[in-house]
Amino acid sequence: MEDRDTVRGEVFNPATGEVLGSSVTFTTEDVNASIDSAKNAFLEWSQTSARIRSVILFRAASIVREEQNRLSELLTSEQGKILPEAKNEIQGFANILEYYASIAGTISGYALPKSDYGYAFTKKEPLGVCGAIIPWNMPVLIMGWKTGPALAAGNTLVLKPSQKTPLTTLKIAEIMKRAGLPDGVLEIVTGSGDIVGGAIAKSREISALSFTGSSGTGAEVERLSCGTHKRLTLELGGSDPMVVCSDADIDMAVSGAVSGRFFNCGQTCTAVKRLFVFEEIFDVFIGKLKEKTEKISVGNGLLKGVGMGPLNSREGLFEINKIVREELDREISVLTGGNILNEGQFREGNFFEPTLVVNPRENSRLLRDEIFGPVLPVVSVDSLDTAIDYANKTEFGLGASVWTKSLKNAYSFSEGVDAGIVWVNKHLKIPPEIPFGGEKSSGTGRENGLSALDRYMREKTVIISP
């Protein structure tokens, strides 16, 4: 595909506005050809022993670790996140491959008691060709969430990265080939969502599709897949609440809120997007929060000492600015930030100040929608019940956290909040072995852990009669 005289889409560096590289713009026919290659590769890969599949995945993880510096720089340059976050993401990818490589050989069914018909057992089998559609915010980690379980289970995979961030994905796919992955086992298809993503969603050759992206596109993918009988996993948007009770460790909660919101410039599905603080500690809390937020140094993520990079796209930047300006028209109180940065070193990039907004009105977009950027609304609440009411007032149900020393608060919050994952005294961290996913408009199905592996396998029952 790379050798052909094809149309290519440019990839921009969000910190400098410069063209960083390009990727091939696949047509529907190209995608279908990749699906055919994956189909041809399936028999051999599914019959390769789990031990050999594991060896290849371990080897790929090891090369990714060896080349993490080069890969992290490329990821920062195409996505915008700061270098330490990019390194974490590359290591996170390797962690996921290693986790699934380590359990591939343990995949098994179970024996059933003897019945009137004889003996029976179940076994787990791969599904065939699977599909994956990936967003631009965590392109490498999410590639791992899908590649690890799909390939460990013996499937082949056709994966579409976002056209904004295909470059690191393509490099990692090359590494996986170098590690011994046979041709066709992992096909990367680049290009636009409607053509390339649409072709994957509509294909009858794809048995399961794991999509990560916004809730709106997720609904479109459901519509396009309708009637193809593929198994859908949808990891969609979120508007995670974080609740800080009066007995919380305030300094720890302030740090959790700052990293939870401003990590990846606020562009993370499970970022802290709404903060509810008990009124008894509100003033002290927001004083410390403001101080810590104002210490974040914004800039090109490749530079040392920078704590937050640019937003990934101009559209994203303008959207955040529009939301904040709308709120300002309603005379909300901006505690810090609130503006685009566009002078000097910031001129060509997509930079926005880390922003705190205090007590926006109840029907504000900041408390209702998914805000994908560095803006955090903080609301004072009089009790845990009020906080849970607020927390559940959006269409989303991805993550949620409560910060407290009280087991009773932790218990009541985890019972009452609508979320796929609940943290106590933490937010955002999800290791490979822990399943997570969303409820309501945040999606269906789970990534990570054994739950994700199950999404890529079918259970077959065998009954042996005498």
Point out the residues that are catalytic.
146, 235, 269, 447
366 binds ligand NDP (CB under 6 A): no
Q: How many residues bind ligand NDP (CB under 6 A)?
A: 33
**Site residues (CB under 6 A) for ligand NDP, limited to 136-165:** 136-138, 160, 162-163
In the numeric block, which tokens belong to residue 283?
Answer: 């003033």
192 binds ligand NDP (CB under 6 A): yes
**Site residues (CB under 6 A) for ligand NDP, limited to 424-463:** 438, 442-443
Residues 6+ apart with CB under 8 A from 17: 348, 349
CA pair distance 197, 190, nearest whole angstrom = 9
C-alpha distances (whole Å) from 402 to each of 285, 372, 394, 423, 447 are: 15, 21, 17, 7, 22
Of the candidates 363, 356, 429, the residue with the CA atom closest to the CA atom of residue 390 = 363
CA pair distance 301, 14, nearest whole angstrom = 10
213 binds ligand NDP (CB under 6 A): yes
Binding track, positions 384-423, relative to ligand NDP; x by CB under 6 A: --------------x-------------------------
In terms of CB distance, is 166 or 184 closer to ligand NDP?
A: 166
Tell me the chain's radius of gyration from C-alpha atoms.
23
Shortest CB 429 distance to ligand NDP, Å: 14
Shortest CB 223 distance to ligand NDP, Å: 9
In terms of CB distance, is 76 or 225 closer to ligand NDP?
A: 225
Shortest CB 392 distance to ligand NDP, Å: 18
User: By three-state DSSP, how is residue 376 classified?
Assistant: strand
Residue whose tokens read 């330490």: 84
Say if CB 465 and CB 115 are below 8 A apart. Answer: no
Q: Which of 131, 197, 299, 301 binds ligand NDP (CB under 6 A)?
A: 197
Q: Which of 370, 394, 403, 457 binds ligand NDP (CB under 6 A)?
A: 370
Helices (H), strands (E): how many in the chain? 15, 22
In terms of CB distance, is 180 or 193 closer to ligand NDP?
A: 193
Of the candidates 154, 186, 180, 182, the residue with the CA atom closest to the CA atom of residue 50 = 154
Binding track, positions 37-76, relative to ligand NDP; x by CB under 6 A: ----------------------------------------
**Site residues (CB under 6 A) for ligand NDP, limited to 229-248:** 235-238
Burial class (CB in 10 A: 0-12, 13-18, 19+), 85: buried
Say if CB 311 and CB 373 are below 8 A apart. Answer: yes
Residue whose tokens read 């791992």: 144
Q: Which residues bind ligand NDP (CB under 6 A)?
A: 133-138, 160, 162-163, 192-194, 197-198, 201, 212-214, 217, 220-221, 224, 235-238, 269, 370, 372, 398, 438, 442-443
